[in-house]
Amino acid sequence: MKLTLSYTGFLLVAGVLLLVVVWVFLLRYVPAEAISLRGEVDENGMRGPGFFIPGRYDLWRAFAPKAAAAAVLLLVLGLVGGWFLAGRMLAPVARLTEATRMAAGGSLSHRIRLPGRADEYRELADAFDAMLGRLEAHVAEQQRFAANASHELRTPLAITQTMLEVARSDPGQEVGELVERLFLVNSRAIDLTEALLLLSRADQRSFTKDEVDLSLLAEEAAETLLPLAEQRGVAIRTTGDVAPAVGSQALLQQMIVNLVHNAVVHNLPDGGTVDVATAAGPRSAVLTVENTGAKLTPQLVSTLTEPFQRGTRRIRTDHAGVGLGLAIVKSIVQAHDGTLLLEPRDDGGLRVTVELPSP
């Protein structure tokens, strides 16, 4: 209705201005009074035809009814034509509104797919479809993650409950062994909970950004995991230059620790190596972590960053982890607007490359 009234008002104003132009620039040259001359008398006594020049008032009396009729016609055409044009113009908005209602009702699979030429409506509809696609994928991922997290957290709780029930039914059971087993199960539940909280923090981007040197973080991570590496017979080597990046020092430290830890526990039993290298590019800082190990297929590597997807399902190892190490790495990299690349090495093992924006 607003568009229709706007179209009609514009049409009426244009018509009135045209009439005013005609009156001002044309009728002002017409004499105000009418001029009437009688014809001359001929030799037979007959008076010839005269002529009459209408005045401004005469012309206005003839012009005003026609102008009023034209204004009424413009009003009718403006209302009818404006309503039709407004309906045609707002048809894509109606489709957008319907799609929004369906999305608000939970149907994220609906797409507008607006046909026609590439105009502002088409651009808005395509952007809305892309947003629905990302939202649908995000919701599906969150639902899958919640289901997996519930399953992973339920396992240690169920084991604890079973142990307590057995201990209650058998009072003579060794208490020290029970306490030790409960301690291990509880530690795993705590590790899993902390990993879930860290993953949530990275997804929400609730951190401040500072200038961080990846080479220093890599050396700290290597020193922290050196006892574990020596226990498993794995050598950690750190090389590279100063690599300044922008981000949270705590999250980036956790990212590198997860990468090095993953490289150590999924390595060869003895004689394996982990190479950690840093480099500074013109606009980015690059971190590379490589480890020896069993040969991996590209299909398996593509699933390693999914939550609770462990490479240990196909790689024999005594360390299962909580299944969130590389998922946390992926979330931290995305939260820092970086890129993460996982590649299987030709001679076995994995190569992980992280590229983060530099200051």
195, 259, 348, 349 from 344: Cα distances, Å: 25, 15, 7, 6
Q: Which of 196, 204, 211 lies closest to 148, judged by CA?
A: 196
pLDDT beneath 50: ranges in the chain: 312-320
Q: Which amino acid is at 239?
A: T
Confirm whether pTM is higher than 0.85: no
Segment 138-192, tens digit of pLDDT: 787 777 767 766 766 776 778 788 878 877 787 766 777 778 878 877 877 787 7
How far is 103 from 297, CA to CA, in rounded Å?
Answer: 38
Which 3 state secondary structure label does DSSP give 315? Answer: coil
Q: What is the pLDDT of residue 111?
A: 86
How far is 147 from 219, CA to CA, in rounded Å?
Answer: 36
Q: What is the pLDDT of residue 313?
A: 41
How far is 25 from 168, CA to CA, in rounded Å?
Answer: 109
Q: What is the pLDDT of residue 319?
A: 40
Segment 29-68, tens digit of pLDDT: 777 776 766 656 556 656 556 666 777 777 777 777 888 8
Q: What is the pLDDT of residue 43?
A: 66
Q: What is the pLDDT of residue 318?
A: 39
In total, the chain counts a number of residues equal to: 359
